Amino acid sequence: MIKVTLKDKSILEFANPLSVIEIAKAISPALAKEACVAKIDGEVCDLRTVVDKDAAVEILTFDDADGKHAFWHTGSHVLAQAVKRLYPHAKLTVGPAIENGFYYDIDVEPAFTGEDIEKIEEEMRKVVKEDIPLERYTLSRGEAVQFAKEREEPYKVILIEELPEGEEISFYRQGDFTDLCAGPHLMKTGALKALKLLNVTGAYWKADANNKMLQRVYGIAFPKKQQLDDYLTMMEEAKRRDHRRLGRELDLFGLYDEGPGFPFFFPKGMVIRNELENYWRELHKEWGYEEVKTPMILNEDLWHRSGHWDHYKENMYFTTIDDEPYAIKPMNCPGGMLAYKRRMWSYRDLPLRVGELGLVHRHELSGALHGLMRVRCFTQDDAHIFMTEEQIPEEIAGVMELIDSVYKVFGFEYHVELSTCPEDFIGTEELRKTSEDALRSVLEARGMDYVINPGDGAFYGPKIDFHLKDCIGRTWQCGTIQLDYQMPERFDLTYVGADGEKHRPVMIHRVAFGSIERFIGILTEQFAGAFPAWLAPVQVEIIPIAERHHAYASELEKRLNGEKLRVESDLRSEKMGFKIREAQLNKIPYMLVVGDKEMEEGKVSVRSRSGGDLGVMSLEEFSAMLHEEIDTKAIR
């Protein structure tokens, strides 16, 4: 008798071995219809996998991350099959599922046109309609290489030869098409009821500019047409909110060919940036942080000590000073270590909370650059907390509360992931377990839902990552909390304990915004450029109806600017309606229209970006209303 334990801890018993899809049918025919893949004792596998002993089995649908991943991975195989049917000479490389959909990198000449993409998409629909079963099988290394050579797939030969010795080499066959793949996959192609190819770009083989440029075709697929329609609507909304376009239109920031990945901030963009930094400083002062500034360039030896040389060198920039090698910092941490070592600390000084708005530089591939979201220089709102081991739970909980308070200000919902230590973790197995357990226990003590992100921690420790959800459903990884036993050891950091002896502190690395630049990009898209009043570059636009009202408008502007409000007057000889439309296009929170009546009564006619005409007010009434909105950081 085989006992199968389900996710809800209920147990099913079966007399003979059976596949996961048969188990799903035994639970519910409806569940079996929606099932994508499964987990057997925590390992993701095909529904065709046979269960022949007692096991924990979880059926995964498109609503589950792993189910979605398999669904989209199958989409990439359908794409490849369609390409090979239409363009037999095309050479396939890799076709993974990604965060939103899938892509396949293809070596083909001439490059695909828009018309080609339409043909491929139509052929994909034929493959789906044929409802072809996917079959998994394995080959020996020699057989696999021979198979790829016979199919004239040179990239697959390279991939096979690069696999570790002894690793199982699996293929998936669907009708007239077979691909090297570890899986898992759906049962049949017919599950991809709604699909769309989104675009095609260039991509170097293995992301190396020295290699050949390939065609990367992106696609998306869903079980239902309505889901695809909703996604495409979201994508259109994302285009409308694109921070790169809004940055240009609102004159906030820009990127130039003279400095790819190195953003420029213009006066209005600097207002947003400075307001965010002011908020950051006020908040951190309330939470007991002190601020430091460490150098941007430090000598090579420091990066050997920190471990970045061995684990991050390919992402760093270097220079030579006085014939000595130096590096431009990709992280603030090593400088923070030196700042800690300037004096001997007592246990009474701990926890020591130190913040830094530090400019860092990291080399990103040109193809990965994307507006403010992926740049080569950015300012991290970094902080390092040095503490005793006993203080770890309280300090982690405090950082989580601080980060939560930041995201509430901007109206963000979020979820958290526990990213465990990677394979190149530089500590002992005991410290790995200790640090991961410490983060896990705080999450569970606070009753927070979280998912495990295996191996995505830093080389010196695990971390808790915060993923923001914006107003159209996209997620952005911003905040992080990293627990680190390694840096204090490498830099020989100490404090004097109550026993008069030297002890090693533990430290937390953490950010809330993540980077100022990326957070501004996210906020620009979150608010579609219509920033809350406290962040808006211009908070008030004064619009005189005629030239005789200019003096009154200038007087109002002077008075409001004196109250630390950001105010402009539109004194152009244009019609009032035109000026109002201009102010709305510039997404200014408030417009004050002034004419004869307002000038005679010493009042203003108030128009709100979000609420329309608010009527006539005294300047004092309007000022009080706006100051309250700014002080409370309200979102209108």
Q: What is the pLDDT of residues 613-634, one digit of tens each?
A: 999 999 999 999 999 999 999 9
Question: What tokens does 624 get?
Answer: 């009080």
pLDDT tens digit sequence for 10-46: 988 898 999 999 999 999 999 999 999 999 998 999 9
Helix (H) or strand (E) holding 359: strand 352-361
pLDDT of residue 427: 80
- Could you say which DSSP state residue 315 is in? G
Distance CA 611, CA 603 (A): 19
User: What is 49-93 written as a DSSP string?
Assistant: -EE-S-EEEEEEETTSHHHHHHHHHHHHHHHHHHHHHH-TT-EE-
pLDDT of residue 331: 92
pLDDT of residue 539: 98
Instruction: Record the pTM.
Output: 0.81
Question: What tokens does 258 get?
Answer: 């003279």
Whether the Cβ atoms of residue 464 and residue 481 lie closer than 8 Å to each other = yes
Q: Say whether pLDDT at 428 is over 80.
A: yes
Residue for token pair 């417009």: 591
Tell me the mean pLDDT in the region 347-362. 96
Handedness of CA 121, 374, 202, 186 (dihedral sign): negative
Count of alpha carbons within 13 angstroms of residue 574, beta-carbon side: 13
Q: Say whether pLDDT at 476 is over 90.
A: no
Whether the Cβ atoms of residue 188 and residue 134 lie closer than 8 Å to each other = yes
pLDDT tens digit sequence for 384-393: 999 999 999 9
Tell me, yes or no, if 579 is annotated catalytic. no
Tell me, yes or no, if 77 is annotated catalytic. no
Question: What tokens does 580 get?
Answer: 């109002």
Distance CA 537, CA 275 (A): 9
User: Closest Cα partner for 365 from 235, 204, 200?
Assistant: 204
Distance CA 167, CA 130 (A): 33
Helices 267-286 and 392-409 cross at an angle (nearest 10°) of 140
Burial (Cβ within 10 Å: 0-12, 13-18, ≥19) of residue 358: buried
pLDDT of residue 171: 96
Indicate the pLDDT class of residue 366, thresholds 50, 70 and 90: confident
Whether the Cβ atoms of residue 435 and residue 481 lie closer than 8 Å to each other = no
Reduce the secondary structure of 594-632 to three states and give it as a string: ECHHHHHHCEEEEEECCCEEEEEEEHHHHHHHHHHHHHC
Of 463, 467, 579, 609, the catalytic one is 463
CA distances from 483 to 252, 490, 512 (A): 36, 15, 15
Tell me, yes or no, if 539 is annotated catalytic. no
Instruction: At 43, give phi and psi (nearest 5°).
Output: -100, 130
Of 308, 509, 587, 607, the catalytic one is 509
Tell me, yes or no, if 474 is annotated catalytic. no
Helix (H) or strand (E) holding 580: helix 576-585
Of 36, 45, 181, 333, the catalytic one is 333
Cβ-Cβ contacts under 8 Å for 395 (sequence gap 6 or more): 351, 385, 387, 508
pLDDT of residue 79: 98
Burial (Cβ within 10 Å: 0-12, 13-18, ≥19) of residue 254: middle
Tell me, yes or no, if 380 is annotated catalytic. yes
Distance CA 629, CA 61 (A): 45
Of 64, 382, 465, 484, the catalytic one is 382
Reduce the secondary structure of 470-490 to three states and give it as a string: CCCCCEEEEEEEEEECHHHHH
Question: What tokens does 43 get?
Answer: 């390992």
Of 156, 362, 518, 587, the catalytic one is 362
pLDDT of residue 458: 83
Tell me the mean pLDDT in the region 548-557. 95
Distance CA 79, CA 617 (A): 62
Q: Say whether pLDDT at 425 is over 90.
A: no
Distance CA 130, CA 138 (A): 25
Cβ-Cβ contacts under 8 Å for 141 (sequence gap 6 or more): 160, 163, 165, 169
Of 68, 185, 376, 384, the catalytic one is 384
Helix (H) or strand (E) holding 240: helix 225-240
- Could you say which DSSP state residue 374 is in? B
CA distances from 468 to 32, 445, 523 (A): 32, 22, 11
Cβ-Cβ contacts under 8 Å for 531 (sequence gap 6 or more): 272, 523, 524, 537, 587
Q: Say whether pLDDT at 557 is over 90.
A: yes
Cβ-Cβ contacts under 8 Å for 632 (sequence gap 6 or more): none
pLDDT tens digit sequence for 514-535: 999 999 999 999 999 999 999 9
CA distances from 546 to 152, 153, 302, 574, 593 (A): 76, 73, 65, 9, 10
pLDDT tens digit sequence for 140-182: 999 999 999 999 999 999 999 999 888 889 999 999 999 999 9
Domains and CATH numbers, the chain: 2-61 (3.10.20.30), 67-239 (3.30.980.10), 259-295+344-526 (3.30.930.10), 540-631 (3.40.50.800)
User: Closest Cα partner for 86 from 164, 172, 197, 162?
Assistant: 197
Distance CA 583, CA 248 (A): 16
Instruction: At 238, give phi and psi (nearest 5°).
Output: -65, -40
Helix (H) or strand (E) holding 290: strand 290-291
Strand order of the β-sheet with 590-594 is: 567-569, 540-544, 590-594, 603-608, 612-618
